[in-house]
Structure 1
Amino acid sequence: MTTDKKWSQDVTEHSDALDLEEGVFTWNDPDRIAASLKNSAEQSDRKKGSDYQSAMSMLTFYINRAGSGLDAKQKQVLEDAKDSLREAFGRA
């Protein structure tokens, strides 16, 4: 019996907007996560919005979709990555 993936996991893994580094949302360093998302957004020619919008949207999407399955420590790392991303794009 095969288990179907959640649609949100499929979007995260196969987004039309960004090619993400493997495991980016599991890292423990918010600055590293932000730098990776920024780089992915800047390298993508398939995104619809600005680099900043694309990177922040992917991060927010992941946090929202992970929901209660995301432990408190990792959720805080990802929330901190939002601040790091704002700084990386000069929007702090």
Structure 2
Amino acid sequence: MAKRAASTKRSKGGRPKPSAAKSTTQGKASKRRYSRSASDEVGSELHRAKRGTARTKSGAKVNSRNQAVAIGLSKARKKGKKVPAREH
């Protein structure tokens, strides 16, 4: 068997942990528009839509990815996560 290359350790959320050697704040700091937890909320709603278990408020089945994203963002807003306001 061939030896595998050393992989980065993954945190519970599935993202690689930042190493101490790398600095993430080089140059101008960029602000996140959406929090990571809001992104996870959208991802879980997309997963539910793919499985066919996602429902709208009225109980109708979610038919598109855009619907699933909108529902995920709405749930994130209700939980108080960092998400921009809706555009009307």
Alignment TM-score > 0.5, same fold:
no
Structure scoring higher RCO (CA < 8 A, sep ≥ 6) equals 1
Of structures 1 and 2, the larger Rg is shown by 2
Select the structure that is richer in helix. Answer: 1
Q: TM-score, normalised by structure 2?
A: 0.33
Q: TM-score, normalised by structure 1?
A: 0.32
